[in-house]
Amino acid sequence: MPAYKRVLLKISGEGFTRAGRSGIDPEQVAYIAEEAVSVHNLGVELAMVVGGGNIIRGAYFSEHGISRTTGDNMGMLATVVNALALQDAIEHLGVETRLLTAINMQEIAEPFIRRRALRHLEKKRIVILAAGTGNPFFTTDTAAALRAMEIDADVILKATKVDGIYNADPVKDPKATKFDTLTYLDVLNGRLKVMDSTAISLCMDNGMPIVVFNLKKKGNVARVILGEKIGTLVEEPKDAG
């Protein structure tokens, strides 16, 4: 029995490629599509926010002579490229999707309209959300938090390359300790690199739980949906007033 009825799954750009590479890897896209369909098959309403860092990172370009606004606009367009690839892969598996973007590009996607997104979810279509918030200076993590509130999601599933939140980088530090649960303030005060502070603050203000888990382990998305205790859960303490 699914633990959640409606979820928002955040996939970073690095999920679309292999470690140490850039661009789009068709096998990785197909893998994400299979994980998404496995959730859909549980009867859960699924929305997905995708990043674009595998193609371009606006912050990087802003450090090399391009304005931050221009760099972020480029990054938002990169998320649409990933979203189109994902949409095609999911539909090849026989599941209907809708791609909604924060930047108007009606020839290839619908504009994000909250009521329209909700209607698609109610019709059991997988909704893919791209172009971030449509504004520079905001990350796709913040877009995920914002969209989760707008569509009344039960939880944000933050898919990463590690199996939760650690007190140090587990790739670099073999002694790094994994947290099973954290509060929003734990994340903010500890400067833990989960989501940016704007996204965490937005979730804290609205009581939106976040589960951080390893995308690369097959079946993990469905396991989280079914309530298995994997990854790290970020939420307010139950006795918090």
- pTM (two decimals): 0.94
What CATH code is carried by the domain that includes residue 79? 3.40.1160.10
Helix intervals (H) in 93-208: 114-122, 140-150, 184-189, 197-206
Query: Under 8 Å CB-to-CB from 240, ≥6 apart: which residues?
Result: none
Torsion-angle region of residue 60: left (phi > 0), alpha (psi -120 to 50) or beta? alpha
Give kind and range of the element (H or E) at residue 72: helix 68-92
How many domains are contained in the chain? 1
**Strand, helix or coil for residue 175:** coil
Torsion-angle region of residue 192: left (phi > 0), alpha (psi -120 to 50) or beta? beta
- Whether the per-residue pLDDT at 221 is higher than 60: the answer is yes
Q: Considering the chain, what is the average pLDDT of its residues? A: 93
Residue 1, domain member (yes or no): no
* pLDDT for the residue 239: 63
pLDDT digits (tens, 9 = 90+) for 25-38: 999 999 999 999 99
Residue 202, domain member (yes or no): yes
Residue 239, domain member (yes or no): no
* pLDDT for the residue 58: 66
pLDDT digits (tens, 9 = 90+) for 155-202: 999 999 889 999 888 888 888 999 999 999 999 999 998 899 999 999
Residue 221, domain member (yes or no): yes
Query: Under 8 Å CB-to-CB from 219, ≥6 apart: which residues?
Result: 35, 38
Question: Is residue 100 a contact partner of residue 83, using CB atoms and an 8 Å limit?
Answer: no
Range of 175's domain?
6-234
